[in-house]
Amino acid sequence: MNFELIRELQQPGDGRIVLLVLDGLGGLPGRDGHTALEAARTPNLDQLAANGLCGLHESVAPGVTPGSGPGHLALFGYDPIRYQVGRGVLSALGVDFELAPGDVAARGNFCTVDPEGRVTDRRAGRISTEKNSKLCDRLRGIHLPGVELFVQTVKEHRFLLVLRGDGLGAEVGDTDPEQTGRKPLRPEARSEKARRTAQLVSRFLEQAAGILVDHHPANMVLLRGFASRPSWPSLAEVCGVRAAAIASYPMYRGVARLVGMALLSSGATLREKLDTAREHWDRYDFFFLHVKHGDSAGEDGDFEAKVEVIEKVDRELPRLLALDPAVVVVTGDHSTPASLRYHSWHPVPVLFWSRRCRPDRVRQFGERACLSGGLGPRFPAPELMALALANAGRLGKFGA
């Protein structure tokens, strides 16, 4: 999406847009040669497809497997190559930590070092999350002059480190040597502004080494991906919409927050999310609803579980349409074929419906059916947002 152009053309409108993301929606042939989406009984989605238009999107670039962050940013209209987030920020998003402007965040690993200080296991034997939590409590005892310190457990050996204070800079090099047999690197300042920050990180590491010395295998930490929260133009600024996210998992809430969405509290089921949307219907123009379990089923290699998630979504579709949205987009942030048990680069099916759209001839929502749809078989995901705005009557004419 061309931000400058869209910002210039956006106009007020009444129509609401609902973006329903079924995480990891796309798949590969499994049972009887059908993908999970093709195998699922989806009469409501198929009906909507018949009245709307279909296609398949690519989030980042052809052949590129998107992470969840880039996958969602693309659906929100942001070019994920231009709008990149440091790993530290992603870690913060992942645990629902609200980064303030100027905070410096890093991804931390507990690791094992030998008596000479050389790393022998970069993941400290994947200690338990419980053990991690206890060690993080200890690390929180570290005091650094002039900055507030946050240490938060993520999972197993992973934690989040955040420094908050004036005049910090995130251009600090990783301390993770990326291989065993080497000592952790010194945190190196990569800019004048990051000099003091690097010194503070050094002091943190010295004290952490002292605190952890008797906690083998987690007797040291490695830090990487120092980053600050980016200040991107918000959806309100670019598109003129008040946007709200209804998502249970921190990662998706975090990405939504980066583009200025309000975060609405809701129950975990799609039905509860739709109830939440209805309660807030007048206060927002754009609703992002996130359904996680298709991705988890894909990562578990559980084809039938993925089919079930999709069929469950199909049964809730009438409740979504009862909200009377101007535009409905049903898609995924990436494909997660059960046969690969992981995110993949395969184009992701899209169902786009609006009263003002020009229906194509697709009558079933499935990967192969979408190939002949009006959106095209491989289009850049960020185009969806501009199309949604247009169909909601929220984009004016370009030129006379």
Number of residues assigned to the chain: 400
Under the criterion CB under 8 A, does residue 47 sit at the interface with a copy of itself?
no
Q: How far is the CB of 301 from a copy of itself (least distance, A)?
A: 15
The two beta strands, 104-113 and 243-246, are unpaired
Residues 108, 223 contacting (CB under 8 angstroms): yes
Q: How far is the CB of 157 from a copy of itself (least distance, A)?
A: 16
- 90 phi and psi, to 5 degrees? -60, -40
Residue type, 280: H
Q: How far is the CB of 347 from a copy of itself (least distance, A)?
A: 8
Place of tokens 């992470």: 67
Residues 194, 142 contacting (CB under 8 angstroms): no
Residue 70 or 187 with smaller CB distance to a copy of itself: 70
Q: How many CB atoms lie within 10 A of CB 65?
A: 17
Distance separating alpha carbons of residues 3 and 95, to the nearest angstrom: 29
Under the criterion CB under 8 A, does residue 16 sit at the interface with a copy of itself?
no
- 208 phi and psi, to 5 degrees? -60, -40
Under the criterion CB under 8 A, does residue 388 sit at the interface with a copy of itself?
yes
Under the criterion CB under 8 A, does residue 60 sit at the interface with a copy of itself?
yes
**Residue ranges in 323-342 that form contacts with a copy of itself under rule CB under 8 A:** 340
Hey, what are 208's tokens?
């952490």
Residues 331, 25 contacting (CB under 8 angstroms): yes
Under the criterion CB under 8 A, does residue 360 sit at the interface with a copy of itself?
yes
Residues 248, 290 contacting (CB under 8 angstroms): yes
Under the criterion CB under 8 A, does residue 179 sit at the interface with a copy of itself?
no
Among 67, 173, 177, 301, the residue binding a copy of itself under the rule CB under 8 A is: 67
Question: 21 forms bridges with which residues in the sheet?
Answer: 290, 331
Residue 217 or 382 with smaller CB distance to a copy of itself: 382
DSSP 224-280: EEEE----PPPHHHHH---EEEE-SSHHHHHHHHHTTPEEPP--SSHHHHHHHHHHT
Residue span binding a copy of itself (CB under 8 A) among the ranges 77-85, 110-118, 156-164, 166-174? 77-85
Residues 289, 244 contacting (CB under 8 angstroms): no
Residue 6 or 113 with smaller CB distance to a copy of itself: 6
Under the criterion CB under 8 A, does residue 138 sit at the interface with a copy of itself?
no
Among 46, 300, 304, 383, the residue binding a copy of itself under the rule CB under 8 A is: 383
Residue 30 or 184 with smaller CB distance to a copy of itself: 30
Under the criterion CB under 8 A, does residue 64 sit at the interface with a copy of itself?
yes
Among 14, 130, 179, 358, the residue binding a copy of itself under the rule CB under 8 A is: 358
Q: How far is the CB of 30 from a copy of itself (least distance, A)?
A: 11
**Residue ranges in 78-107 that form contacts with a copy of itself under rule CB under 8 A:** 80-81, 84-85, 87, 90
Distance separating alpha carbons of residues 157 and 132, to the nearest angstrom: 6
Under the criterion CB under 8 A, does residue 378 sit at the interface with a copy of itself?
yes
Residues near a copy of itself (CB under 8 A) are 2, 5, 9, 26, 28-29, 35, 55, 60-70, 80-81, 84-85, 87, 90, 340, 343-347, 356-361, 367-368, 371-379, 383, 386-391, 395-400
